[in-house]
Amino acid sequence: MPKILVADPIGAEGVELLKTRADVDVKTGMKPPELLAIIAEYDGLVVRSETKVTKEVIETAKLLKVVGRAGIGVDNIDLDAATSAGIAVVNAPTGNTVAAAEHTMALMLALSRNVPAAHQSLKAGEWKRSAFMGVEVRNKTLGICGLGRVGSEVARRAQSFDMRLIGYDPFVSPDYAKSRGIELVSLEELLAQADFITLHTPLTDGTRHMISGEQVALLKPGARLINVARGELVDEQAILDGLESGQLGGVALDVFAQEPPQNTELIGHPKVVVTPHLGASTEEAQREVAIEAADQVLAVLNGEPARNTVNAPFVAPEVHAVLAPYIPVATIVGKLLTHLADGQFLGITISYEGEIAEHDTRSLQAAVLAGLMAPITTGQVNLINAPVLARERGLNITEQHNTSAPEYSSIVSATIETTEGKITLAGTSLRNEPHIVKIDDYWLDIVTTTPYMLFVDNQDQPGSIGAVGMIAGAHNINISFMEVGRSALRGRAMMVIGLDDPVPPEVIEEIQNLGHIFNVRLAHLGSL
């Protein structure tokens, strides 16, 4: 059973799910040296935002295959180090979506109606109605920076308040935004037009301090800012300066550059509403993110593709359902190419035909490369680090998409070019089972159910199959199956033989020396 460390508090439902398929240790509140001292024992690690998964932690964790983040943000995890090590980083992006969107709306309303200040005033025995004059959100313009899950849910709720919606997100299409009632604009246009601005972008080098002094100067005077995403998205001093100048009419913050926050001048400002990182703090969200993270971690440890792998291409659930059966197909295609190709690798062309060609195929590309690189690379090779390893080796990668596939609903094929020539393999999924259906010009149907496969390129003539079978029998080599494809009657043919046992070099040489044999290759598939 794999061993998993839960290093931060998560919902009990998530821990119980992990325990159904793994040995689980819950050790929260550890200092960095304590984590380093034990992490080498574990196959999986689950964290929230408190534990820092540094490069040192990753280099020490020799058994680690997956880091699960019970939440969406992964800025506490060194993604580059994890990717290089072939460690999957998975998160739970949907579990707290509603909680974060609702908290955004709560802060926007609290800000517009001065709820916290009025609350404190009344608690202090005062009755100052005129001091807390607010504004309505109806007919106001809401600028949403980041139109992912949370941003889209905020938009859906803001529509019920009769707000005009504008959005900034360089990674979504105008059609996507339009379908959600959002006008897509530049960041500069958003800042100039919005009465309320809400931030819902991940923290990256490109988004750090996306709201700084320069952006504050572009604001519509008196605009109000809400941040329930990441504290580092805003320059806190610039925000404070904007409040003092009146350029900002108010700010609501759930997150801070340092937590607990150290900027007491900002959080104490009369026009600032603050909460202590409560965006995901609902009973429902904590249960959901714990279960979602646990499910992703267990999927990786079971050798299954996870839906929300952060350091691999994101695949929407509906797309995942289409592509998932073709990941083992792509892996086998890549693995067989390594065994069948001679010479130095120069480049690979990966082609997708049929329904799968309509989707983002980066996960299939990674699977082909993982299969290709695994037999020739020391250390762990998987969907995470295979593209990195291929690039490091200077392999030229080309992709082709064709939505038409006359023979099958979908096909993954790959052509490897070497100093000795080219070879092509194609595969498909039938009944959720990988099938190799083409080798170069030979159509066949191979189910890779044996650990060894013998590929015999031969002249199609009477006695060819029998001669090879007799040699195998003479050496007590059991044949599981045999499949033959040919280009023309009595032309060139490909004989593929499934074997339970390895074939010694002398036996391969004996087959090679038959007069009608052009080439013989043995593939050891191992565990697929």
Catalytic choice (69, 103, 200, 277): 277
pLDDT higher than threshold 80 for residue 453? yes
434 Cβ contact list (under 8 Å, min separation 6): 328, 329, 332, 427, 428, 447, 448, 528
Looking at residue 526, its pLDDT comes to: 67
What are φ and ψ of residue 207, in 5° steps? -105, -10
How many whole angstroms separate alpha carbon 170 and alpha carbon 167? 10
277 is catalytic: yes
Looking at residue 378, its pLDDT comes to: 53
Looking at residue 528, its pLDDT comes to: 41
Looking at residue 317, its pLDDT comes to: 67
54-68 pLDDT, tens digit each:
999 999 999 999 999
Q: Read off the pLDDT band of 519 (50, 70, 90).
A: confident
Q: Which carries the bigger pLDDT value, residue 194 or residue 377?
A: 194
The amino acid occupying position 477 is I
92-103 pLDDT, tens digit each:
878 888 999 999
Looking at residue 244, its pLDDT comes to: 95
Looking at residue 315, its pLDDT comes to: 62
55 Cβ contact list (under 8 Å, min separation 6): 78, 80, 81
Q: Cβ of 412: how many Cβ atoms within 10 Å?
A: 31
Helix/strand/coil percentages in the chain, nearest 5: 35, 25, 40
69-92 pLDDT, tens digit each:
998 878 899 988 888 888 989 988
**Cα 485 versus chain centre, distance:** 38
Question: Averaged over 507-512, what is the pLDDT?
Answer: 90
Can you tell me whether residue 45 is helix, strand or coil? strand
**Cα 236 versus chain centre, distance:** 31
Looking at residue 313, its pLDDT comes to: 62
The stretches of 302-457 forming alpha helices (DSSP H) are 317-323, 326-340, 362-373, 386-392
Best mean pLDDT range from 75-84, 105-114, 344-353: 105-114
Looking at residue 68, its pLDDT comes to: 95
The residue written with tokens 């839906």 in the block is 307
509 is catalytic: no
pLDDT higher than threshold 70 for residue 316? no
% of the chain at pLDDT higher than 90: 58
CB of 486 within 8 A of CB of 493? yes
* Ordered domains of the chain (ranges, CATH): 3-94+284-311 (3.40.50.720), 97-274 (3.40.50.720), 315-440 (3.30.1330.90), 445-528 (3.30.70.260)
pLDDT higher than threshold 80 for residue 344? no
Catalytic choice (230, 269, 307, 486): 230
pLDDT higher than threshold 80 for residue 394? no
Q: Read off the pLDDT band of 393 (50, 70, 90).
A: low
222-250 pLDDT, tens digit each:
999 999 999 999 999 999 999 999 999 99
143-196 pLDDT, tens digit each:
999 988 899 999 999 999 999 999 998 767 777 888 899 999 999 999 999 999
Catalytic choice (126, 136, 259, 407): 259
Q: What b-and-e string marks burial along 331-347, b requiring 16 or more CB atoms within 10 Å of the CB?
A: bbbbbbbbebbeeebee
pLDDT higher than threshold 80 for residue 470? yes
The residue written with tokens 């006695």 in the block is 463
Comparing 171-180, 208-217, 395-404, 501-510, which segment has the lowest mean pLDDT?
A: 171-180
- What is the reported pTM? 0.59
Question: Averaged over 256-281, what is the pLDDT?
Answer: 92
pLDDT higher than threshold 70 for residue 337? yes
Looking at residue 380, its pLDDT comes to: 63
476-492 pLDDT, tens digit each:
888 889 999 887 787 88
The amino acid occupying position 241 is D
Whether the bond into 270 is cis, omega within 30 of 0: no
pLDDT higher than threshold 60 for residue 527? no
230 is catalytic: yes
How many whole angstroms separate alpha carbon 221 and alpha carbon 253? 19
Q: What is the mean pLDDT of the chain?
A: 90
pLDDT higher than threshold 50 for residue 10? yes
pLDDT higher than threshold 80 for residue 376? no
